Amino acid sequence: MIQSGKQKLLFSFIALLVLSCGNSFAQRTGPGWVWQNPTPQGNPLYSIHFAADKEIGYAVGSDNTVLRTVDGGFRWVRQNIPFSDVPFSSVFVKDKNIAYIVGARASIFMTDDGGKEWKRIAVDVKDHFSSIKFAPAQPNVGWITGTYGRIMKTLDGGMTWNAQATGTSEQLLNVDIRDELHAVAVGLGGVVLTTIDGGESWKLSNTCSGAIVSDAAYISTRQIVAAGFDGCVAISQDSGETWTRINIFSRADLLSLAFADESNGSMTDSNGMVWLTGDGGSTWLPFNVRTNPRLVSVYFADRFTGWAVGENGLIVRSDDGGFSWQRLSEGGREDINDLVFLNDEIGLAVGSRGRIWLTNDAGRAWVPVFSGTLSNLNSAFFFDGDRGWAVGDSGTILRTINGGASWGKGISGSTEDLISVNFVSDKIGFAVGASGTILRTESAGAYWQPLESGTNFWLEDVKFFDDKTGVVVGDRGTILRTTDGGSSWTKIKTNLKENLYSLAFYDEKNGFAVGSSGVTLRTSDGGMTWQDQESVSRFNLFAVQAFGPAAAIAVGELGTILITEDAGKTWAVQPSITSKVLQAIVYRGGSKVWVAGRGGTMIKRTESLSPRTVSLPKGPPILKSAPPRAKPKPRTPLVTITDDGDIPFATPRKKP
């Protein structure tokens, strides 16, 4: 698990549209995984476009993601793009059969049979491509933009592409086309390029005073609207020769721009607002979209019907010109910080803003539960099928005695963020968190007492073997061990400067710890000494589970999934289907693998991860005086959540 009290990775528009222009792309197309949440998938989407019939459409995004719909977006099917493993940045749909997509590593793919087969179009450049458009009335004429000022043009419908000189080396983010002569391209450094001679020459303007210009659109042959960061909106009335700034009274970063006709247009911004104009861009009014999602691409097929896409796989639709939006993708998008499965079917997840979800069918459906808090929940632990606990920010502690169907609050006596919780019986438990916080309870979590840890570093995870012996890991390589129930703690020397985020033991002797920069540690003596292992990854690892004395699986940044079966001497990278930050892992052998993380990410294996028989880690000891443990059973939330606060879900319109 990862503490939610720490600063989270910020949303980066440049990372989305410039496509991580470093040259590192991890493998994301490995078979054997399925999205359980969100659906149809949860990778960021960067572009959406529809055919003239408003039924056939495509959305593209990171991790080789291409989605197709034939009913206006109410149902989406993932497309298989052969011999590709890149983020796709832009899509253009010519008609019900023909569509083009572009992305990193000079990727251009086209289909002429409605997505049944995709063919790669070779070009003699190596740039990352960011946008593709074709002229509305001349479908053989098109342009592509990319990194280092790259512009490519086609005159044969996209079968061949030729580079054009632009006079800039800035990364270009978007392009729009009026006809075979008129085009506009925009990008970093405030660059706006316009041509009136088919790209033989390009005029360079600094329309937004150096701020990123994210999108532009033609209203007529002479009138162009451009939008960018710091609330920059500008209009040209002379095909790009001169520009006039429009004051929208906002400094928000504008992400995308689209016009349905000469009067009606829309923009999206980084604060989750949609801006509308009815006078050709001279005035704009902001409209709130519930949950304030960051929509990075918007497209309107006519004055009323439009779609937009953004982070966490979100797809929305408007049928009233952008005044209101409905959700086409399903599932929550709150971060999942921890994950627990009581058997192969019954599980629970906790996350940001007090979210708790239950599943009774191995994750095929996740049901929200009323938690009574809006604090981030960072960790959960179940002693048996009935009794469980969750801890979170600002000293939040929740308890359940019915398998998670309802929750009550415990009194922690602390305002520090709590990151991890562990119980050794139905009464005795421990929690750790910020500023060296360690708490102990002997009342089943109703009341907690602070313990002296001897450190002010954040403590990230805790595991106890019995009511006396336990281990804690934390920031700056902190490892603490106690043999007296937490009354005193011994600091274990590691010579590490990296943070340790997660700890897992298979039994009382063998365990693993993982942390920042891919650090992995192993112990074979119950945590008294630790060996630094060589990891194949330098990405932060946020969760680990031991599934044998010498075997463990770890997850972390950029969709990283690592597995070892030789006590950490070697770690093998497992193919994934996402580059999202992964923060929780449950492995019960074979294909019973669940991984969860940021943006509501929940993926599950459909094929065996390992051919060997996996033995589950030993659970907490049963003390002699403890009552028998309750077996897991299906649960139904006692309080039904009728409105989860998300964007309303769209329902298909009935055809007359």
Distance (Å) of CA 588 to CA 30, 553, 562, 609: 20, 11, 16, 10
CB neighbour list of residue 171: distance below 8 Å, 6 or more residues apart: 18, 21, 130, 146, 147, 148, 149, 187, 188
pLDDT at 416: 97
Report the percent of the chain where pLDDT is more than 90: 84
pLDDT at 452: 96
Cα 281 from Cα 298, distance rounded (Å): 16
pLDDT of residue 615 exceeding 70? no
Task: Quote the tokens at residue 491.
Answer: 């600091």
- Using CB atoms within 10 A of its CB, is residue 442 exposed (0-12), middle (13-18) or buried (19+)? middle
- Exposure on the CB side of residue 465, measured as CA atoms within 13 A: 18
Which of 224-228, 291-295, 407-411 has the weakest average pLDDT?
291-295
pLDDT confidence of 470, banded at 50, 70, 90?
very high
pLDDT of residue 509 exceeding 70? yes
Please check whether residue 439 is in contact with residue 412, taking contact to mean a CB–CB distance below 8 angstroms.
Answer: yes
Say which amino acid occupies 598: R
CA 86 to chain CA centroid, Å, is 16
Cα 631 from Cα 385, distance rounded (Å): 5
pLDDT digits (tens, 9 = 90+) for 303-341: 999 999 999 999 999 999 999 999 999 998 999 999 999
pLDDT digits (tens, 9 = 90+) for 193-232: 999 999 999 999 999 999 999 999 999 999 999 999 999 9
pLDDT at 623: 52
Do the bridges between strand 191-195 and strand 561-564 make them parallel or antiparallel, or are there none, so unpaired?
unpaired
Q: Average pLDDT of the chain?
A: 92
Please check whether residue 582 is in contact with residue 597, taking contact to mean a CB–CB distance below 8 angstroms.
Answer: yes
Please check whether residue 293 is in contact with residue 281, taking contact to mean a CB–CB distance below 8 angstroms.
Answer: no
Cα 441 from Cα 430, distance rounded (Å): 6
Strand ranges of the sheet holding 561-564, from the earlier edge strand across to the other edge = 541-548, 551-556, 561-564, 572-573
pLDDT at 6: 31
Task: Quote the tokens at residue 93.
Answer: 């749909």
* Stretch (H or E) spanning 161: none
How many H helices and E strands in the chain?
A: 1, 56
pLDDT digits (tens, 9 = 90+) for 620-630: 555 555 567 89
Q: What are phi and psi of 160, to 5 degrees?
A: -135, 150
Question: For the chain, how many residues are written?
Answer: 656
The top-level CATH class assigned to 393-587 is mainly beta
Cα 144 from Cα 148, distance rounded (Å): 13
Please check whether residue 379 is in contact with residue 337, taking contact to mean a CB–CB distance below 8 angstroms.
Answer: yes
pLDDT digits (tens, 9 = 90+) for 133-151: 999 999 999 999 999 999 9
Q: Taking residues 537-543, report their average pLDDT.
A: 94
Only one residue has tokens 């879900």, namely: 649
Task: Quote the tokens at residue 490.
Answer: 């011994």
CB neighbour list of residue 383: distance below 8 Å, 6 or more residues apart: 423, 425, 426, 620, 629
**59-89: burial string, b at 16+ Cβ within 10 Å, e else:** bbbbbbbbbbbbebbbebeebebeebbbbbb
CB neighbour list of residue 405: distance below 8 Å, 6 or more residues apart: 358, 369, 635, 636, 637, 638
pLDDT confidence of 609, banded at 50, 70, 90?
confident
Q: Structural domain boundaries of the chain?
A: 42-327, 393-587
Give the other-Cβ count within 10 Å of 549's Cβ. Answer: 14
pLDDT at 7: 32
Cα 371 from Cα 375, distance rounded (Å): 10
If you compute the radius of gyration of the chain from its CA atoms, what whole number of angstroms results? Answer: 27
Say which amino acid occupies 552: A
DSSP H helices in 236-386: none
pLDDT of residue 619 exceeding 80? no
Q: What are phi and psi of 181, to 5 degrees?
A: -105, -30
Cα 105 from Cα 81, distance rounded (Å): 14
Q: What is the DSSP letter of 13?
A: H
CA angle at 517 for the pair 513 and 522, rounded to the nearest 5°? 20
pLDDT of residue 612 exceeding 50? no
Given phi > 0 = left and psi -120 to 50 = alpha, else beta, which region is 146?
beta
Q: Which CATH superfamily is domain 42-327 in?
A: YVTN repeat-like/Quinoprotein amine dehydrogenase (2.130.10.10)
Q: Taking residues 549-556, report their average pLDDT.
A: 95
Please check whether residue 267 is in contact with residue 254, taking contact to mean a CB–CB distance below 8 angstroms.
Answer: yes
Task: Quote the tokens at residue 468.
Answer: 């006396």
CA angle at 13 for the pair 9 and 16, rounded to the nearest 5°? 90
Tell which residue, 290, 310, 286, has the closest CA to residue 298.
Answer: 310
Secondary structure (DSSP) of 250-275: --PPEEEEEESSSS-EEEEETTSEEE
Tell which residue, 253, 329, 270, 260, has the closest CA to residue 299.
Answer: 260
Cα 103 from Cα 118, distance rounded (Å): 14
Cα 318 from Cα 11, distance rounded (Å): 24
pLDDT digits (tens, 9 = 90+) for 106-130: 999 999 999 999 999 999 999 999 9
pLDDT of residue 13 exceeding 60? no
Say which amino acid occupies 614: V
pLDDT of residue 30 exceeding 50? yes
CA angle at 43 for the pair 41 and 44, rounded to the nearest 5°? 125
The answer to whether the 42-327 and 393-587 domains have the same CATH topology is: yes
Q: 21 by DSSP, 3-state: which?
A: coil
Only one residue has tokens 């950490």, namely: 568
